[in-house]
Amino acid sequence: MIICAVVFVAACASAARVFAQAPAQVPIDTAKLEDEAVQRTTDYIRLNTTNPPGNEVLTMRFLARILQQEGIPFDTASSAPGRGNIWARLKGGPKPALVLLSHMDVVPADPKYWDADPFAATLKNGQIYGRGTLDTKTLGILELEAFVALHRAHVSLDRDLIFMATADEEAGGTYGAEWVVQHHPEAFRGAGFVINEGGSGSIEGSSRSFSIEVTQKTPFWLKLTATGAAGHGSTPLPASATNRLIRALYRLQTYEFAPRVVPAVAAYFAAIAPVASPKWRDKLANPQTLIADRNTLAELQIELPQLAALLRNTCSITGLQGSNKINVVPPEAQALVDCRLLPDQDHEAFLREFTGVLNDPEIKIDRIIDFTPAVTATNTPLYDAIAAVVHTHFPDASVAPSVETGFTDSHWFRDLGIASYGFAPFLIPQSEESGVHGNNERISVENIRRGTQMMLEIVSRLVRE
């Protein structure tokens, strides 16, 4: 009993010393954060993590050096040679943790179609040109700055805050988010919320609109393989593998999947309709009438293709392979088809329709990616925090829950019941949005500076005691 009492007193004294020595909260130097964000975005873009092969170990080490300099413990893990992932955690109270998620890989960029080297982070007219500026290295730096700022300021948190950067998102996340979910669940243990890529701000004329991504069309990537007799190119074979494949692809190319309006898309269109151009304002507010007119739907496809894609299942033929020698009729030909399905679409039913469109039972269909759909509700404190910060900086802007035509790593976390939102605090002119996966991807220094402040405000609203 005497020993227990001594131990108890010692423990109390130790706890008192720890409490007394707890560092006092200090002001956050936002100007320093903004300067850092601009410089670190520049440095980050210059690390070429084109996927394939990815080589995200370069950016993993870059982020690790920053965290080490800040005195923040972190973990790294490589899912394969060169495929790095990194995460760190600031401890807080018992509320569900917030994950700041981004991916480190980028899609290829051909310099001959760019006005600047896509991996030089060239500054022109107040904008940084580079692959990954919009998708999604700048967002990763903004998340890092918010994470570091709260650590430096010794802010008391009511929940854990997790910074995570992963590999391979552009190829589906097999070596990144999916791998972390499967092999390192401790990295996001206790998580209740995720901020990731997906939504952002758009400006057209005087209209400003922001989207917060809550769900997405699901990728259904397929590989088609046709076989046939081989021979010499001088002797055409009507039933060759390439001819059969081309005929099937032509049927697919000219086929129109039936348009329909799912609830999440109807809510999104209703929210953005008031700030749409006069031509589309009423039509977006009443999308059922929009899809009833084939000509109007075709106009939407030309003028606003990202919105049109939300009104039907889609398939894009993205890859073709046949003979590697011009005078050889190959015995096998292949095509890659990127299909994106509406969130409520039954995948097996779609595959039956797809197979019927090809109308060639001899063509083999293999699934490459087949993700599950999930929708995050909007009645959460994180959604409210994002909307509140947007309206603080842009009082007249619209804020809407959106459906993404592409996919992100958010679905790996939504599948686990974690509320995940796609949001980058940028205001991008519509004319520059094509830079995502396109040429001359760029972001303004103003967006980086303002976005740094907005991200810090969003995170602070959710995690500060």
Backbone angles phi, psi at 261, to 5 degrees: -115, 115
Please count the helices (runs of H) and the strands (runs of E) in the chain.
15, 19
Where is 173: in which H helix or E strand?
none
Beta strands at 427-429 and 201-204: parallel, antiparallel or unpaired: parallel
> Could you tell me if 163 and 57 lie in one domain?
yes
Domain boundary pick from 319, 345, 370: 370
Pick from 155, 226, 201, 220: which is nearest to 370 by CA?
220
Q: What's the pTM value of the predicted model, to 2 decimals?
A: 0.90
Whether 5 has a pLDDT exceeding 60, the answer reads no
Render pLDDT for 313-369 as a digit per residue (tens, 0 to 9): 999 999 999 999 999 999 999 999 999 999 999 999 999 999 999 999 999 999 999
CA separation for the pair 10, 4 (Å, rounded): 10
Which domain, by its residues, includes 432?
28-198+408-463
> Could you tell me if 158 and 39 lie in one domain?
yes
Is 379 among the domain residues?
A: no
Backbone angles phi, psi at 195, to 5 degrees: -110, 125
Is 376 among the domain residues?
A: no
- Helix ranges (DSSP H) in 276-346: 278-285, 287-292, 294-303, 305-308
CA separation for the pair 459, 161 (Å, rounded): 9
Could you give the number of structural domains in the chain?
2
Domain boundary pick from 321, 344, 370: 370
Render pLDDT for 57-89 as a digit per residue (tens, 0 to 9): 999 999 999 999 999 999 999 999 999 999 999
pLDDT attached to residue 8: 34
Q: What type of residue is 40?
A: R
CA separation for the pair 404, 216 (Å, rounded): 4
Is 43 among the domain residues?
A: yes
CATH of the domain at 449: 3.40.630.10
> Could you tell me if 44 and 193 lie in one domain?
yes
> Could you tell me if 245 and 290 lie in one domain?
yes
Report whether 313 contacts 340 (CB < 8 A).
yes
pLDDT attached to residue 435: 86
Burial (0-12, 13-18, 19+ Cβ within 10 Å), 95: middle
